[in-house]
Amino acid sequence: MRVTIEINGTERVLDDVWEGESLLYALRERAGLPGAKNACEQGECGSCTVYLDGRPVCACLVAAGQAAGHAVRTVEGLSTVDGELDRVQRAFLAAGAVQCGFCTPGLIVATHDLLARVPSPDDAQIREALSGNLCRCTGYEKILDAVRLAAGSPA
């Protein structure tokens, strides 16, 4: 089927979408946006986190057809078109919050959402906001550093 989704501010027409396909698959394999990662495919890991109508969701648990007519923002859509990184992306680099990098896009979207809602989160709020994102490399300390760093940076 054909599905039209607003992705990162641009209306995209995706063809040959299978009716049972996830939004994650459509983003990666049909829209050419591999930022959101496919790890668990069951909502456990948060690596596929994207904004759907402004709220972070697991793209693997949204049927692509459900996103038709709605607005999706992926990690690629957080930087500017000329490649300038968002403050959360810069903070993850600066703090060394990235090791293998597989969980990073999801954590960045989740952090981006947190700071939009809570500009100066305390540690409990950070942990709660990132509780749906698993990282198996860092032990999370550098990720928490990155969130605190981003919170202290101009948006």
Partner 1 sequence: MDFLRPRTLDEALAMRAERPDAVPIRGGTDVMVEMNFDRRRPGALLDLAGLAELDTWHRTADTVRLGAGVSYARIMAELADPLPGLAMASRTVGSPQIRNRGTVGGNLGSASPAGDAHPPLLTAGATVEVASTRGTRLVPAADWYLGVKRSALAADELITAVHVPVAAGPQQFAKVGTRNAMVIAVCSLALELAPATGAVRVAIGSAAPTPRRCPDAEAYAGAEFADRRLWTVGSPLPAVLVQRFGELVAAAADPIDDVRSTAAYRRTALAVLARRTLTWAWREFRDGGRRCA
**Sites of contact with partner 1 (CB under 8 A):** 1, 18-20, 22, 41-44, 46, 49, 55-58, 60-63, 65-66, 68, 110, 128-129, 131-133
Integer Cα distance of 12 and 7 in angstroms:
6
- Closest contact distance (angstroms) between CB of 86 and partner 1 is 19
Cα angle value 30/97/33 (rounded, 5°): 10
Return the number of the residue (1 or 93) whose C-beta is nearest partner 1. 1
Integer Cα distance of 118 and 101 in angstroms:
25
- Closest contact distance (angstroms) between CB of 50 and partner 1 is 9
Return the number of the residue (61 or 71) whose C-beta is nearest partner 1. 61
- Closest contact distance (angstroms) between CB of 84 and partner 1 is 27
Return the number of the residue (125 or 153) whose C-beta is nearest partner 1. 125
Return the number of the residue (90 or 140) whose C-beta is nearest partner 1. 140
Name residue 15's amino acid: D
Cα angle value 10/146/133 (rounded, 5°): 65
Integer Cα distance of 135 and 105 in angstroms:
11
Helix (DSSP H) and strand (DSSP E) numbers for the chain: 5, 5
- Closest contact distance (angstroms) between CB of 81 and partner 1 is 26
